Chain A
Amino acid sequence: MPNMEPKKTPMPEQAPDVRNKNFKEVALGYTAEMALEEAKRCLHCKTAPCMNGCPVNVHIPDFIQSIVNGDLEKAHDIITATNALPAICGRVCPQENQCESKCVRGIKNEPVAIGRLERYVADWYMDGHEKKAERAASNGHKVAVVGSGPAGLTCAGDLAARGYSVTVYEALHAAGGVLMYGIPEFRLPKAIVQKEVEHLVEAGVEVKPDMVIGKVLSIDDLLEMGYEAIFVGTGAGLPRFMNIPGEGLVGVYSANEFLTRINLMKAYLQEYDTPIIRPKNVAVVGGGNVAMDAARSALRLGAEHVYIVYRRAEEQMPARREEIHHAKEEGVIFKLLNNPVAIHGDENGRVTSIECVEMELGEPDASGRRRPVEKEGSNFEIPVDCVIMAIGNSPNPLIRSTTEGLEANNHGCLIVNEETLQTTRDAVYAGGDTVTGAATVILAMGEGKKAAASIHEYISSRYQ
Chain B
Amino acid sequence: MFPILEKRRLNDSMTLMVVEAPFIAKKAKAGQFIILRVNEFGERIPLTIADYDGEKGTVTIIFQKVGKTTLLLDTLNVGDCILDFIGPLGKPSELEGHKRVAVIGGGAGCAIAYPQAKSLHALGAKVDMIAGFRNKDIVILEDEMRAACDNLIVMTDDGSNGNKGFVTDALKKQIEAGANYDLVVAIGPLIMMKVVCDLTKQYNIKTIISMNPIMIDGTGMCGGCRLTVGGKTKFACVDGPDFDGHEVDFDEAMLRLRTYREQESEQTREFNCRLMEGAKNA
A: residues with CB less than 8 A from B are 171-173, 181, 209-212, 215-217, 237-239, 241, 243, 247-251, 253-254, 256-257, 260-261, 265, 271-275, 277, 348-349, 396-398
Contacts and interface: CB of A to CB of B under 8 A. Distances in A.
Contacts of A247: 226, 233
Contact of B228 (A248, A265, A272): A248
B224 to A, nearest CB: 5
Interface in B232-265: 233, 238, 249, 252, 255-256, 258-260, 263-264
B220 to A, nearest CB: 5
A359 B264 CA distance: 41
Given A215-B88, A397-B238, A238 B224 contact: no
13 contacts: A171-B219, A173-B37, A212-B86, A216-B24, A216-B27, A237-B219, A238-B223, A249-B255, A256-B221, A273-B69, A275-B43, A277-B259, A349-B258
Point out which of A211, A250, A271 has the most chain B C-beta atoms below 10 A from its C-beta.
Answer: A250
A257 B225 CA distance: 10
Contacts of A396: 219-221
B259 to A, nearest CB: 5
Contacts of A273: 41-43, 68-69, 267
Contact of A348 (B37, B255, B263): B255
Contacts of A260: 216-217, 221-222
Nearest to B89: A215
A398 B89 CA distance: 10
B87 interface: yes
A413 to B, nearest CB: 15
B43 A212 contact: no
B23 A217 contact: yes
Contact of A261 (B85, B216, B223, B258): B216
Interface of B: 23-24, 27, 37, 41-44, 68-69, 83-89, 216-224, 226-228, 233, 238, 249, 252, 255-256, 258-260, 263-264, 267
Point out which of A215, A248, A249, A256 has the most chain B C-beta atoms below 10 A from its C-beta.
Answer: A215
B279 to A, nearest CB: 21
A220 B238 CA distance: 20
Given A253-B224, A273-B69, 20 more contacts: A171-B217, A171-B219, A173-B83, A173-B86, A181-B221, A212-B218, A216-B23, A216-B24, A216-B88, A238-B220, A241-B233, A248-B226, A248-B252, A250-B256, A251-B259, A256-B221, A265-B216, A273-B68, A275-B43, A398-B220
Contacts of A172: 217
Nearest to B26: A216
A237 B220 contact: yes
Contacts of B263: 275
B222 A239 contact: yes
Contacts of A349: 252, 255-256, 258
Nearest to A214: B219
Contacts, number: 111
- Counting from the closest, the 4 A-B pairs by CB-CB distance are A349-B255, A275-B260, A257-B222, A254-B223
Contacts of B249: 248
Given A171-B217, A261-B216, A256 B42 contact: no
Contact of B41 (A237, A249, A272, A277): A272
A435 to B, nearest CB: 17
A209 B84 contact: yes
B273 to A, nearest CB: 15
Contacts of A275: 43, 259-260, 263-264, 267
A209 B252 CA distance: 33
Contacts of A239: 221-223
Given A173-B37, A273-B41, A397-B238, A250 B220 contact: no
Contacts of B219: 171, 212, 237, 396, 398
A4 B221 CA distance: 48
A397 B228 CA distance: 20
A164 to B, nearest CB: 23
A75 to B, nearest CB: 36
A239 B225 CA distance: 12
B42 A250 contact: no
A241 B233 CA distance: 9
Contacts of B44: 173, 265
A392 B69 CA distance: 32
A366 to B, nearest CB: 25
A210 B84 contact: yes
A402 to B, nearest CB: 11
Contact of A274 (B24, B27, B43, B227): B43
A209 B40 CA distance: 14
B71 to A, nearest CB: 11
A211 B84 contact: no
A215 B27 contact: yes
A248 to B, nearest CB: 5
Contacts of A251: 259
A248 B222 contact: no
A256 B223 contact: yes
A393 B144 CA distance: 44
A195 B43 CA distance: 24
A171 B222 contact: no
A236 B61 CA distance: 31
Contacts of B260: 275, 277
Contacts of B85: 210
A431 B206 CA distance: 43
A273 B69 CA distance: 8
Contacts of B37: 173
Contacts of A261: 216
